[in-house]
Amino acid sequence: GQQLNQSPQSMFIQEGEDVSMNCTSSSIFNTWLWYKQDPGEGPVLLIALYKAGELTSNGRLTAQFGITRKDSFLNISASIPSDVGIYFCAGRGNFNKFYFGSGTKLNVKP
């Protein structure tokens, strides 16, 4: 199947710092999604991107759909303790199939 490379695997940052994570794919995607998963819960949708080059914000979160359609990044500005969790990227490929990255574990020190 298609491979999604998500990096970094984990991050330790200080409260108030900005965070950036990204996903790359060997194949073109039609949609990029970013999710956050807390322990014991399902992933919660943060941002959806539908067009190459699209830049979308949701509060302190900003995500972009790469122009090549093979990558996406997520930025979190001014991190706070409740940002702790695992962030997953997902891409929608052919036949409406979704592929997920392996996640970026974010730790925020107060």
Partner 1 sequence: EAGVVQSPRYKIIEKKQPVAFWCNPISGHNTLYWYRQNLGQGPELLIRYENEEAVDDSQLPKDRFSAERLKGVDSTLKIQPAELGDSAVYLCASSFRQGLAADTQYFGPGTRLTVL
Residues at the contact surface with partner 1, assessed by CB under 8 A: 1, 4, 6, 30-31, 33, 35, 40-45, 48, 50, 88, 90, 92, 95-98, 100-103
Question: Could you tell me which residues are beta bridge partners of residue 105?
Answer: 10, 86
| 44 versus 78: smaller Cβ distance to partner 1 | 44
Q: How far is the CB of 78 from partner 1 (least distance, A)?
A: 26
Q: Which is nearer to partner 1, 8 or 16 (CB)?
A: 8
Q: Take residue 80 and report the two structure tokens written for it.
A: 């706070």
Comparing CB distances to partner 1, the nearer of 54 and 77 is 54
- Shortest distance (Å) from residue 84 CB to partner 1: 16
CA distances from 78 to 83, 86, 87, 88, 108 (A): 10, 17, 16, 20, 11
* Extended beta strands in the chain, E state: 4-7, 10-14, 19-25, 31-37, 44-49, 55-58, 61-65, 71-76, 85-92, 98-100, 104-109
Closest contact distance (angstroms) between CB of 80 and partner 1 is 23
Give the C-alpha separation, 2 to 4, whole Å.
7
Q: Which is nearer to partner 1, 36 or 83 (CB)?
A: 36
Least distance in Å: CB of 65 to partner 1?
Answer: 11
